[in-house]
Amino acid sequence: MSDSHGGHDHAPPPGHDGPLTYYQLKEIAVRELLIEKSVFTADDVRREVEKMDQRTPAKGAAVVARAWTDPAYKERLLENGTAACEEMGLDMGQTYYLVAVENTESVHNAIVCTLCSCYPRTLIGLPPDWYKSRAYRTRIVREPRAVLAEFGLELPESTVIRVHDSTADMRYMVLPRRPDGTGDMSEEELAALVTRDCMIGVAVPTAETVAS
């Protein structure tokens, strides 16, 4: 690992006690130059970070639970994901088109961005490190069944696996199957079964899932 670079070590960078890395210095410099030049204010940056912290998988889970309980909503979600999410009060921005892909008895879906890291961040937050890793990006499209097994998801050979490769402009979310034995659950209780990984498609919800 070189002295000024993060190197292969993807551990969190040092906090304020250690010396700043070259890239941390660059971030501060770019931010301060742009504030000095009135491109935006320090407050704009702070608010943007706050907005990001508020984007959690709970947003996407609410969409999934609504689709499980309201067949007409599910139809709208599969027809136009962006509009259906906006209908739930989510700010989808103007930046991308969301496509929901439905798991069925015979088809399981998973999402990836082989080129980089495109992800339905307004619904699930920022992607986990592994989603952006070389290992996931190279392998999920070549041997999805083996990759899903690594995540603990063993699917029968008869299940068709579809992997959806995202772009910046078109991003996917997986609409998982509603687990058996959840007939009496409220929409809120159902939403609590839906984790981030279920919406990426490397896991499926079960009646016992505890949302992380």
Partner 1 sequence: MDDHHGHHDMGGEPGGGPIDQTGHDYALWEKRVDALLMLLSNPSRALVRVDELRRGIESIGPSAYEELTYYERWITSISNVLIERGVYTSDELGRKMAEIETREESAR
Residues acting as catalytic residues: 113, 116-118
Tokens (6 digits) for 7: 């190197």
162 — phi, psi (to 5°)? Answer: -115, 125
For residue 100, the surrounding DSSP H or E stretch is strand 97-102
Binding-site string for partner 1 from residue 47 to residue 66, where x marks contact by CB under 8 A and - marks none:
-xx--xx-------------
For residue 173, the surrounding DSSP H or E stretch is strand 170-175
Can you tell me which of 27, 75, 79, 187 binds partner 1, judged by CB under 8 A?
Answer: 27
**Closer of 94 and 158 to partner 1 (Cβ):** 94
Residue 145 makes contact with partner 1 by CB under 8 A = no
Taking the complex as a whole, how short is the minimal distance between the CB of residue 190 and partner 1, in angstroms? 26
Residue 5 makes contact with partner 1 by CB under 8 A = yes
Residue 17 makes contact with partner 1 by CB under 8 A = yes
Residue 43 makes contact with partner 1 by CB under 8 A = no
Rg (CA), the chain: 19
Give CA–CA dist 195/149, Å, rounded: 17
Can you tell me which of 44, 70, 75, 187 binds partner 1, judged by CB under 8 A?
Answer: 44
Tokens (6 digits) for 98: 């969301």
**Closer of 12 and 89 to partner 1 (Cβ):** 12
CB 168 within 8 A of CB 121: no
Q: Where are the alpha helices (DSSP H) in 119-186?
A: 121-124, 134-139, 144-150
**Closer of 15 and 156 to partner 1 (Cβ):** 15
Residue 107 makes contact with partner 1 by CB under 8 A = no
212 C-beta neighbours (distance < 10 Å), count:
7
Residue 38 makes contact with partner 1 by CB under 8 A = no
Of 32, 28, 57, 68, give the one whose Cα is nearest residue 186. 68
Taking the complex as a whole, how short is the minimal distance between the CB of residue 170 and partner 1, in angstroms? 12
Q: Which residues contact 108 (CB under 8 A, 6 or more apart)?
A: 148, 155, 159, 160, 161, 162, 201, 204
Residue 150 makes contact with partner 1 by CB under 8 A = yes
Can you tell me which of 61, 65, 84, 147 binds partner 1, judged by CB under 8 A?
Answer: 147
> Footprint of partner 1 on this chain (CB under 8 A)?
2, 5-8, 10-13, 15, 17, 19-21, 23-34, 37, 39-40, 44-45, 48-49, 52-53, 94-95, 112, 114-117, 126, 128-130, 132-139, 141-142, 147, 150-151, 165, 168
